[in-house]
Structure formats: structure tokens, C-alpha cells
Amino acid sequence: MIKNCRNVKIIGTGSYIPKKVLTNDDLEKIVDTSNEWIIARTGISERHLAEDNETTSDLSSKAALKALKDANIEPKEIDLIIVATNSPDMVFPATACLVQEKIKAVNAATFDLQAGCTGFVYALIVAWQFISAGFYNNALIIGAETLSKFVDWTDRNTCVLFGDGAGAVILKAKEEKGILSGYLGGDGSKADMIMLPAGLSKNPASHETIEKRMHYVKMKGNEVFKNAVKSMKRSTIKALEKCNLSVKDVDCFIPHQANIRIILVVLKVLGIKKDKVFINLDKYGNTSAASVAIALDEAVKEGKIKNNNIVVLTSFGAGLTYGSIVFRWNK
């Protein structure tokens, strides 16, 4: 049983997608691939890419301002900012500090959270605990990526998959219950399945790391696929059990937007009907830590989530990490 002191709910959402579009046809000119292969194997039609001078904190700030407006709350009322990202502007300072300055959230504590594509779910659960415990009142949680800058555009195994974007929510202490439950997991024995090997303490930048293209995302796609299904199933069931709900109670299921085939298998193994799932990966590809954050904002704005609906966000990613959060939507 989770014993929290205060109830916490999402009072606003926002997202920002960079303007530049890269279609599957464009990719055919860059690597040995085809529109047919990408659609059949992943479900992705196009993805958006940040401009050269556009950073993760830029995308984050734009999504954050929309979420603040949606929540009808001023930046100075925010007392915590967490940016979940795997593609920060710099190793330090944290991207959250740069966002704080850009949106003038002058009273906020700031840090980044890195948990692969599961980062946004991890960050929501961390912020929920802070607010529930009475430590903070209003939190801005962002999932944002510019992974296009870390993708090897000569590697067809990875470059067709990823896209850039940001999603944000505002969490607030409230009388009525919003967030009901969550479950987080990790398996470091599978750390080698998705990694960006160089540039930090294990492999500091050198001529050799550059020649070996070690500053780009490396992934064992097939192995990740199998683990993705298992871990999203596990964390969804665990999170629902913790608040005495079952998959039958779920009104809107928002899985990590990595691959349509993964999503369809997860629906099947969980027994969730197709009309309950929200999918937008055809437009954006895999935006990693931003994926479920953007999807949540779009699902709300498109009226796919209605008051009193039970919503589940579930994700998996590098680490390997995985996690789910369950909430009742009552904005």
C-alpha cells in the first residue's frame, strides 16, 4: 500500500515539436532503407528534428510555457523543475537550470533525471513523492530530447527510429486524488542493449572514440524489443495492482511510442482493447523521454482523455529501465 500524505494531480499539459520534418522518403536518400521497411517494421512515417541551433532546453521551455498556460499558473509559482532527458544541452549544468532561466521560474529547485526513455515516468513519480510529502507544492516535469544530434546518420538500424520533441506537465497538491499509483524498475545486467558509449568517464572523448563512432547511440534492437514487451506488461500490472485496479479499468493507455509492433504485442499480452490506446509514433518516431509526455498532451487536447478517466503511462528504455504510472484524470 502506498501511504501518501497529500493528493497530487496533473493540472496542465503542453508539448512542443520542432518544425523540421524528416520523412521516410528523405531517409531513403541517406541510408539503405525504404519507406515500406520502416512503416512495416516500426509504424513510423516521419519524425521532427531540432535545428542545429535548437537545444533540449529550448524545446523544454516551449513545452513548459504551454503547460503553465494550460494550468493557469505563473512560472514563479513553480518550486520544482525536473527535466527527464538523455540528450541534455551539456553534461552540466543540468538542462533544468537552463529551462528555469528561460521561463523565469525563479523560485524552483532544478535537476535533470536520466532514466532512458522511462525518464518522464520516473520524473513524474519522483515529483509526486515530493509534493505528496509536503516538500513542494507545484512541480514542472518535462520529458525532452534532441536525440537527432546523437544518432549515427550512417546506421540504418537506429537513425530511422528517433525524433526530437518535448512534453511537459504541471503537478500540484490538491484535495481530490489524481495520481493513484506507480511502479518503477531497472535491470543493469542489460545495460549494453542501448548505450551512448563515449564522451564521459568510461571513454573520454579522443580521436579513437570519434573514429570508432562511439559518440552515437548503439542499440541491440531485437533484444530491446523482447524486453520492452515483458517490462511494460510487468510494470503496468504492478502499478494497477498497487491501487486495486485491473486492466479492465483503464480508459486510456499511453505506452512508450517506440515501435507499433511493440505496442500491439503489449496490448495483446495485457488484454487491452485497441480503442483504449493512444498512438502518435507515426508522426514523431521514438522521442525517448519525451514520448509519453507528448502523447499525454495530445491525447488530452484531442479529447481522447475525459474527466474521471483512468490513464496509464508506461515506458521502457536504456538501463534497462521501465515503469508505469496510473492516474485519474480530473482536470
Query: Which positions are catalytic?
Result: 117, 256, 286
How many residues would you count in the chain? 331
Closest separation between CB of residue 218 and ligand UT7, Å?
A: 11
Which span sits near ligand UT7 by CB under 6 A: 34-42, 70-78, 172-180, 246-254?
34-42
Query: Which of 10, 40, 38 shows the shortest CA–CA distance to 24?
Result: 38
Is residue 37 a contact residue for ligand UT7 (CB under 6 A)?
yes
Total residues at interface with ligand UT7 (CB under 6 A): 20
Which position among 108, 147, 179, 258 is part of the footprint of ligand UT7 (CB under 6 A)?
258
Does position 87 interact with ligand UT7 (CB under 6 A)? The reply is no
Cα 38 to Cα 133: distance, rounded to the nearest angstrom: 45
C-alpha 264: how far from chain center? 19
Interaction of residue 286 with ligand UT7, rule CB under 6 A: yes
In 3D space, the residue among 127, 143, 135, 144 whose CA is nearest the CA of residue 9 turns out to be 127
**Site membership for ligand UT7, residue 281 (CB under 6 A):** no
Site map for ligand UT7, 136-165, x if CB under 6 A? --------------------xx--x-----
Secondary structure of residue 94 in the 3-state scheme: coil
- The Cα–Cα gap between 286 and 212 comes to 25
Candidate segments 59-67, 125-133, 139-147, 216-224, binder of ligand UT7 by CB under 6 A? 216-224
| Interface residue with ligand UT7, options 60, 181, 259, 324 (CB under 6 A) | 259
**Could you please report the per-residue DSSP string of 137-204?**
SEEEEEEEE-GGGTS-TT-HHHHTTB--EEEEEEEEEESS--EEEEEEEE-GGGGGGEE--SSSSSS-
The contact set with ligand UT7 (CB under 6 A) reads: 33, 37, 41-42, 117, 156-157, 160, 194, 219, 221-222, 224-225, 228, 258-259, 286, 288, 317
